[in-house]
Amino acid sequence: MSRIISIGTAVPQFDTKQSSILDFMVSAYDDERVTRKLNLLFNHSGIESRYSSLPDFNNNAENNSFFTGDDGEPTVEDRLNIYKEEAVPLSVAAINDAFQKIETSVKEFGITHLITVTCTGIYAPGLDAELISHLKLSNEIFHTGINFMGCNAAFHALKLSDMITKTDEKAKVLIVCTELCTLHFKAKNNHDNLLSNTIFGDGAACLIVTSESYAKLHHHSGLDINGFYAIILDKGKELMGWNINPVNFEMILDSKVPDFIGEEINDIVTKAGNKLQIKPEAIDKWAIHPGGKKILDTIKQRMQMNDNELVHSYKVLNDYGNMSSPTILFVLNEILKAKPKTDETIFAIGFGPGISIETALFTYAG
């Protein structure tokens, strides 16, 4: 068995209230019909603030340095240049947070495997190579990147780390999920684009994963990984995705996604429970990816959950918005901060393009 012994999180410096982002969007679109749509979306978003690596969304003309420059609309190259500048320091902040929680340093701990996750910035040598250099890790370290898999990509990294630590009990795996979603803003008037611009923010999260035997030997509490269940719902493949065009990475997020997931969620949980040998009523904590307020509301209604069962997902959505791949790790971090009891079970669900559904079952080891 594998254990997550620490979770670190970080957000960039520009903390912007949702009301200020709305003002920016209204100005950027400059269309009365769009303004009415934006007001409706923002007022029902369930988000209070989001973070960005750019100052522009504060809607202060003096600070707008990227989207309102004299060179016209930023290109993909312009956006990726910002990603290259900002992704490493944001990742390092999350990594430092994770290691501070177990009262050691990267150097003292001795990472053996590095997995990076992103879908908002791609280049080579990539984030993994840069972190190896910045953290002074061995140039012979196992490293790989999970790219362009969307909001549930952290589950894929967890699966890989689980296989690694089951193969090598001495393995110490570092997972880093870093997304700069706000770099890809574009004032395009269609519902997918308006919805994306309403909810996405920037953030990074880090996991340290070891074997259970290593964790016990060194007295590390955390989340034991019991197993995974995944399914691709091909009939929803047109509802969510990414398109790369000359200007940006364009997010496809159809308004039908919440209802689609709602129709499938009970069957998904049943199938996952059958594989992982747990009944829904035996699950103590739920970690649902907050892809949007309507997704959470629909799941809560379809699964007949009480007000407390999705409290951590709603909190992350309120405080940060949807940050793509790090978001589910922020939810798990909130659960840990709430101090679960030993042997409590945590069931996590994420959603990504495909539509692909990823689930994982954890048990808290105190």
Residue-wise pLDDT tens digits, 318-354: 999 999 999 999 999 999 999 999 999 999 999 999 8
The domain made up of 222-365 is a member of CATH 3.40.50.720:
no
pLDDT of residue 244: 86
Of the ranges 31-35, 37-41, 252-256, which one carries the lowest mean pLDDT score?
252-256
**What is the distance between the alpha carbons of residues 84 and 127, in angstroms, rounded to a whole number?**
8
Architecture of domain 2-217: 3-Layer(aba) Sandwich (3.40)
pLDDT of residue 236: 87
**What is the distance between the alpha carbons of residues 203 and 322, in angstroms, rounded to a whole number?**
9
- pLDDT-derived band at 239 (thresholds 50, 70, 90) equals confident
| Contact by Cβ (8 Å): 6, 333 | no
- pLDDT-derived band at 271 (thresholds 50, 70, 90) equals very high
**What is the distance between the alpha carbons of residues 317 and 46, in angstroms, rounded to a whole number?**
7
pLDDT of residue 71: 61
- Extract the tokens encoding 149: 């898999």
> Measuring CA to CA, which residue among 346, 235, 193 is closest to residue 283?
346
pLDDT of residue 247: 87
Region of 348 on the Ramachandran plot (φ > 0 left; ψ -120 to 50 alpha; else beta): beta
> Measuring CA to CA, which residue among 345, 361, 359, 292 is closest to residue 156?
359
pLDDT of residue 253: 82
pLDDT of residue 356: 95
Q: Edge-to-edge, what's the strand order for the sheet holding 113-118?
A: 142-147, 113-118, 172-180, 202-211, 2-10, 222-232, 356-365, 345-352, 285-288
What are the φ and ψ backbone dihedral angles of 70, each rounded to 5 degrees? -80, -10
**What is the distance between the alpha carbons of residues 231 and 357, in angstroms, rounded to a whole number?**
5
Residue 61 pLDDT greater than 60, yes or no: no
- pLDDT-derived band at 255 (thresholds 50, 70, 90) equals confident
Q: What is the pLDDT of residues 162-198, one digit of tens each?
A: 999 999 999 999 999 999 999 999 888 777 788 899 9
Angle between helices 32-43 and 191-199 (to 10 degrees): 50
Report the run of H or E that residue 146 belongs to, with start and end.
strand 142-147
Mean pLDDT of 143-153: 95
Mean pLDDT of 267-281: 96
- pLDDT-derived band at 64 (thresholds 50, 70, 90) equals low
Q: What is the pLDDT of residues 65-86, one digit of tens each?
A: 788 766 668 899 999 999 999 9
Sign of CA dihedral 298, 193, 178, 151: positive
Residue 91 pLDDT greater than 70, yes or no: yes
pLDDT of residue 291: 94
Residue 52 pLDDT greater than 70, yes or no: yes
How much is the mean pLDDT over the chain?
94
CATH 3.40.47.10 domain residues, the chain: 2-217, 222-365
Residue 63 pLDDT greater than 80, yes or no: no
DSSP one-letter string for 246-313:
SS-EEEEE-TTHHHHHHHHHHHHHHHHHHHHT--GGG--EEEE--S-HHHHHHHHHHTT--TTTTHHH
Mean pLDDT of 262-285: 96
- Extract the tokens encoding 257: 């996604």
pLDDT of residue 169: 95
Region of 339 on the Ramachandran plot (φ > 0 left; ψ -120 to 50 alpha; else beta): left
**What is the distance between the alpha carbons of residues 44 and 295, in angstroms, rounded to a whole number?**
12
Sign of CA dihedral 126, 252, 301, 231: negative
DSSP one-letter string for 159-218:
HHHHHHHHH-TT-EEEEEEEEEGGGG-----SHHHHHHHHHB-EEEEEEEEEEHHHHHHT
- pLDDT-derived band at 37 (thresholds 50, 70, 90) equals very high
Residue 53 pLDDT greater than 60, yes or no: yes
